[in-house]
Chain A
Amino acid sequence: MSPLERLRASRERLTGQRLRVDPVVCEGIGQCAMAASRLVHLDRWGYPIVPTEELGAAELGPAQRAVNSCPRRAMWLE
Chain B
Amino acid sequence: MTLTATCIATDTLLTGPVTLSPSGPADSVTASVRESYDDHVFRFGPRPDVSAALLADVEHAGLLGHGGAFVPVAVKWRTALLRKGPLTVVANAAESEPLAGKDGTLIRQRPHLVLDGLMIAAQALGADRAIIWLHGDDHTARAVFEEAFEERGWSGRDIPIEIIDGPVHYLAGEAQAITRATSGGPALPFPRRAVTDPWAPQTIVQNVETLTRLALLARGLPNTRTRLLTVLGAQRMVVEVEHSTTIEQVLIRLGWKVAPQAVLLGGYAGIWATWDDVAGLEVNEKKLRSAKLTLGAGVMVPLAEDACGVRVTADLVAYLASMSARQCGPCLFGMPALAEHWAALADEDGDRRTMDRLRADISAIEGRGACRHPDGATRLSTSALQTFSAHLGAHVSGMRCRHRTHVTLPGTSR
Q: Which residue of B lies closest to A78 (CB)?
A: B194
Q: In this assembly, does A23 line the interface, its C-beta being within 8 Å of a C-beta of chain B?
A: yes
Q: What separation, in Å, do the CA atoms of A23 and B361 have in the docked complex?
A: 17
Q: Report if B334 contacts A (CB, 8 A).
A: yes
User: Does chain A have a CB within 8 A of B219?
Assistant: no
Encode A41-74 as 1/0 by CB contact (under 8 A) with B. 0011111010010000000000000000000000
Question: Whole-angstrom distance between the alpha carbons of A46 and B327 in the complex?
Answer: 15
Nearest neighbor of B360 in chain A, beta-carbon distance = A44
In the bound complex, residues from chain A placing their C-beta under 8 Å from that of B330 are 23, 47
B333 within 8 A of A: yes
Contact A26 B367 (CB under 8 A): no
14 A-B interface contacts by CB (under 8 A):
A22-B193, A22-B370, A23-B191, A23-B369, A24-B328, A24-B370, A43-B329, A43-B334, A43-B364, A45-B329, A45-B332, A45-B334, A47-B333, A49-B364
> DSSP class of B's interface residues: helix, strand, loop or mixed?
loop
CB-CB nearest 8 A-B residue pairs = A47-B329, A23-B328, A45-B333, A23-B370, A24-B327, A24-B370, A43-B364, A22-B191
User: Would A44 and B364 be within 8 Å (CB), given that A23-B327, A23-B328, A26-B328 are in contact?
Assistant: yes
B367 in complex: contacting residue of A22, A45, A52, A78, CB < 8 Å: A52
CB distance from A75 to the nearest CB of B (A): 12
Contact present for B329 and A26 (CB under 8 Å): yes
Alpha-carbon distance A44/B327, docked complex (angstroms): 17
Residue pair A49, B370 in contact (C-beta under 8 Å): no
* CB proximity of A24 to chain B, nearest CB, Å: 4
Q: Answer whether residue B145 sits at the interface, using C-beta atoms and an 8 A cutoff.
A: no
On B, residues with C-beta under 8 Å from A are 190-191, 193-194, 327-330, 332-334, 361, 364-365, 367-370
CA of A24 to CA of B330 in the docked complex: distance in angstroms?
Answer: 10
Which residues of chain B have C-beta atoms less than 8 A from A45's C-beta?
Answer: 329, 332-334
Given the complex of chains A and B, what is the CA–CA distance between A45 and B368 in angstroms? 13
Residues of chain B within 8 A (CB-CB) of A28 are 329
Looking across the interface, which residue of chain B has its beta carbon closest to that of A52? B367
Chain A residues, Cβ within 8 Å of B194: 78
Contact with B along A5-34 (1 / 0, CB 8 A): 000000000000000101110101000000
Contacts A22-B191, A23-B330, A47-B329 supplied; 18 other A-B pairs, CB < 8 Å: A20-B193, A22-B370, A23-B328, A23-B329, A23-B368, A23-B369, A23-B370, A24-B328, A26-B328, A43-B329, A43-B368, A44-B361, A45-B329, A45-B332, A46-B329, A49-B368, A78-B193, A78-B194
